[in-house]
């Protein structure tokens, strides 16, 4: 853990000093937001660039050496300039004063809430097992597979999905590489994810709070809006009135479901804490980085013109995003476009040109790298998809969309949108770009799985939460009746969301038990980093998430959602090998696998597997409990005659 904390501390201090030198006229909030965004992209890109250049093991001391050198350069620059030193001291004193305010303490408490939630989800060890929570265990298993493929496997050179090695890794993998790199440096896998997530949450909270404060022109109102964003939910809890009759008690019905995240109940617009913040590591990185960059650009165009170097910094940070979080680029385009047109674009044409050119030079090579996945995906990544999760079919598509909207978002998104018309010109100008993401996400899909447009709606939800907070404060100040209305409104906004958070906490999920962890250790010890294994298709298979090895085909539903065509056919071919049969030997040879795993997951996935055939094909290399690692005998082709 000390290694991870030292790494982020070096990155963070350097980033803040660098931002203060490049854009000295930023206020404290904008400086922290810009530095946070820079911290996130550098903490992903620097270890990766050095690892690709020198190798994973050599990149660990090299990264700390480079960060130390960069920090020394910035500290010397501060000491050489008395004026800069005075500004740095003033910023530090201002931060210390604000840290004692009630709003700062509230923000710190909200960060503590994030810390707790990330601990629940990030493979925390308990009773010999590794745990997650709720539906987030699926996301965490996927992220762990990527991280260990870098830490233990050879994915640094291959850059492919470990679940399907012949498919290039077009997914924004750098946040997971960061966790794998920290794990390779000696940090436990759970701490590598946990510390990276809580740092990212800190950046998001600081940047989002600063944006909300500027929109609502009040720190307290900004904090209230941030609270609404975290707790909000739709009308899903109303289903409890129906489900109660089929349950033994009200409490049993209340805990039986997540009433903000239940597709059987038609609930798709989830509570954002349980849908984005805790499980979706890449989305959180993107949201935090986009908020920090947006805060920087806002201060570059509003008020006193800043140096052009600030635009270059914004463009470079944004250009680093495609392999960190591609959705963040879409968010920035929508958010920045109104800022560009409203604030004298001709006067700042050089700055904007520099930002665009810098961003394009960095982003285009990454986009070209992902072209295989983008062009071969089924369905396509970018496509016309009106209606989001409801579509536009049926006799009354407009009514279906309206009902889906009301059921999923309740009152908070609708009232937030209404505030755009009533909260004043300043509020409209500040939040207009954030609202553009909503119709965009309802018309176009930006990933094969259209549900993932929720990552865009999470950014719009900041503007909606600001509008909701505006209504709450307006009602609260309207006397006793208004206060009662504000309390009722707050309950309507948050009841389902709070239940979703409690439900997530009450649904722990084991990702890997003690036997699976011991077996993963044996796999690492007895197979080379580039080994290809034949396994069951489970997304939390220990060979994938803990041993870091490639498997022939796994996680068919998840990989299908990533746009990989024919995943069912691939996993059925694996099943045919385990079942034996005339073509099994040829299928095994075609798969390229040299190792076979036989364990509880394989027996669960293939109840009719032929253990005798597997024994004929392979020899046991290592075993523990009910798990066997077997080496394929050669040749694997079926005998002639």
pLDDT at 307 over 80: no
Burial of 600 (0-12, 13-18, 19+ CB in 10 A): middle
**Does 247 or 601 have the greater pLDDT score?**
601
For the segment 77-98, the average pLDDT, to the nearest whole number, is 74
pLDDT at 636: 44
Confidence of residue 198 (pLDDT cuts 50, 70, 90): very high
pLDDT at 421 over 50: yes
- Among 24-28, 603-607, 610-614, the range scoring the smallest mean pLDDT is 24-28
Give the predicted TM-score (pTM) of the model.
0.94
pLDDT at 640: 34
pLDDT at 285 over 60: yes
Confidence of residue 256 (pLDDT cuts 50, 70, 90): confident
- Structural domain boundaries in the chain: 2-216+279-372, 225-266+383-505, 513-632
Backbone angles phi, psi at 380, to 5 degrees: -65, 155
Q: CA separation (Å) from 477 to 60, 232, 474, 480, 641?
A: 55, 22, 5, 8, 90
pLDDT, tens only, 206-252:
999 999 999 999 999 999 999 999 999 999 988 888 888 778 888 88
pLDDT at 111: 97
What would the DSSP string read from start to end of 418-473? HHHHHS-HHHHHHHHHHHTHHHHHHHEESSSSGGGGHHHHHHHHHHHHHHHHHHHH
pLDDT at 638: 38
User: Is 391 strand, coil or helix?
Assistant: coil
pLDDT at 440: 95
Average pLDDT, the chain: 91
Beta strands 383-384 and 444-445 are antiparallel
pLDDT at 637 over 70: no
**Does 625 or 321 have the greater pLDDT score?**
321
For the record, the structure tokens of 614 come out as 């597997």
Listed in order, strand segments (DSSP E) in 470-594 are: 508-512, 532-534, 550-551
Q: CA separation (Å) from 104 to 27, 139, 203, 305, 320?
A: 16, 31, 14, 29, 30
For the segment 360-374, the average pLDDT, to the nearest whole number, is 87
- 8 Å CB contact between 285 and 322: no
Pseudo-torsion of CA 91, 97, 100, 103, nearest 10°?
-70
pLDDT, tens only, 135-193:
789 999 999 999 999 999 999 999 999 999 888 888 899 999 999 999 999 999 999 99
Confidence of residue 394 (pLDDT cuts 50, 70, 90): low
Q: Look up residue 596 and give its DSSP letter.
A: E
For the segment 24-28, the average pLDDT, to the nearest whole number, is 86
Confidence of residue 348 (pLDDT cuts 50, 70, 90): confident
pLDDT, tens only, 484-496:
999 999 999 999 9
Give the rounded percent of residues in the chain with a pLDDT score beyond 70: 97
- 8 Å CB contact between 429 and 423: no
pLDDT, tens only, 473-525:
999 999 999 999 999 999 999 999 999 999 999 999 999 999 999 999 999 99
pLDDT, tens only, 612-636:
999 999 999 999 989 999 999 875 4
pLDDT at 641: 29
pLDDT at 225: 97
pLDDT at 639: 37
Q: Determine the distance from the C-alpha atom of residue 530 to the mean position of all C-alpha atoms in its chain, rounded to a whole number.
A: 27
């Amino acid at each position: 853990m000390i290694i991870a904390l030292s790494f982020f501390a070096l990155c963070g201090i350097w980033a803040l000093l660098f931002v203060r030198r490049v854009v000295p006229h930023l206020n404290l909030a904008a400086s922290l937001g810009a530095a946070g965004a820079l911290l996130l992209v550098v903490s992903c890109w620097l270890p990766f660039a050095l690892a690709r250049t020198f190798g994973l093991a050599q990149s660990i001391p090299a990264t700390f050496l480079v960060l130390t050198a960069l920090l020394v350069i910035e500290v010397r620059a501060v000491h050489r300039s008395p004026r800069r030193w005075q500004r740095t001291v003033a910023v530090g004193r201002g931060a210390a004063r604000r840290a004692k305010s009630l709003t700062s303490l509230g923000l710190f408490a909200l960060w503590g809430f994030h810390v707790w939630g990330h601990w629940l989800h990030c493979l925390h060890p308990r009773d010999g097992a590794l745990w997650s929570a709720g539906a987030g265990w699926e996301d965490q298993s996927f992220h762990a597979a990527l991280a260990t493929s870098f830490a233990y496997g050879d994915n640094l050179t291959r850059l492919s999905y470990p679940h399907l090695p012949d498919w290039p890794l077009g997914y924004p993998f750098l946040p997971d590489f960061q966790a794998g790199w920290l794990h390779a440096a000696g940090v436990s896998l759970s701490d590598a994810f946990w510390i990276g997530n809580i740092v990212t949450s800190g950046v998001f909270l600081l940047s989002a709070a600063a944006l909300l404060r500027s929109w609502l022109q009040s720190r307290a109102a900004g904090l209230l809006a941030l609270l609404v964003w975290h707790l909000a939910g739709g009308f899903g809890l109303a289903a409890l009135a129906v489900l109660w009759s089929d349950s033994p008690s009200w409490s049993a019905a209340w805990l039986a479901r997540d009433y903000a995240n239940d597709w059987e109940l038609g609930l798709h617009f989830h509570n954002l804490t349980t849908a984005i913040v805790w499980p979706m590591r890449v989305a959180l990185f993107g949201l935090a980085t986009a908020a920090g960059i947006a805060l920087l650009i806002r201060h570059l165009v509003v008020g006193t013109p800043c140096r052009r170097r600030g635009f270059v910094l914004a463009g470079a940070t944004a250009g680093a995003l495609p392999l960190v979080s591609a959705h963040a680029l879409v968010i920035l385009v929508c958010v920045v476009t109104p800022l560009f047109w409203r604030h004298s674009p001709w006067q700042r044409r050089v700055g904007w040109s520099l930002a665009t050119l810098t961003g394009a030079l960095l982003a285009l090579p990454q986009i070209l790298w992902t072209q295989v996945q983008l062009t071969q995906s089924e369905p396509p990544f970018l496509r016309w998809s009106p209606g989001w999760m409801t579509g536009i079919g049926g006799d009354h598509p407009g009514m279906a969309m309206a009902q889906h909207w009301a059921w999923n978002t309740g009152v908070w998104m609708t009232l937030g949108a209404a505030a755009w018309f009533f909260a004043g010109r300043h509020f409209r100008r500040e939040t207009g770009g954030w609202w553009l993401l909503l119709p965009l996400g309802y018309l176009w899909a930006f990933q094969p799985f259209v549900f993932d447009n929720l990552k865009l709606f999470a950014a719009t939800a900041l503007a909606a939460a600001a509008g909701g907070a505006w209504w709450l404060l307006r009602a609260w100040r309207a006397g006793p009746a208004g206060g009662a209305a504000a309390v009722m409104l707050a309950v309507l906004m948050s009841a389902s969301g709070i239940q979703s958070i409690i439900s997530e906490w009450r649904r722990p999920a084991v990702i890997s038990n003690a036997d699976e962890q011991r077996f993963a250790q044996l796999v690492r010890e007895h197979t080379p980093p580039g080994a290809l294994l034949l396994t069951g298709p489970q997304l939390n298979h220990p060979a994938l998430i803990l041993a870091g090895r490639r498997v022939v085909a796994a996680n068919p539903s998840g990989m299908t959602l990533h746009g990989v065509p024919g995943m069912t056919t691939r996993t059925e071919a694996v099943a045919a090998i385990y079942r034996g049969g005339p073509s099994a030997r040829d299928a095994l040879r075609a798969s390229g696998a040299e190792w076979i795993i036989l364990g509880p997951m394989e027996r669960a996935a293939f109840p009719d597997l032929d253990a005798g055939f597997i024994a004929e094909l392979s020899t046991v290399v290592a075993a523990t409990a009910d798990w066997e690692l077997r080496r394929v005998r050669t040749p694997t082709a079926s005998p002639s005659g």
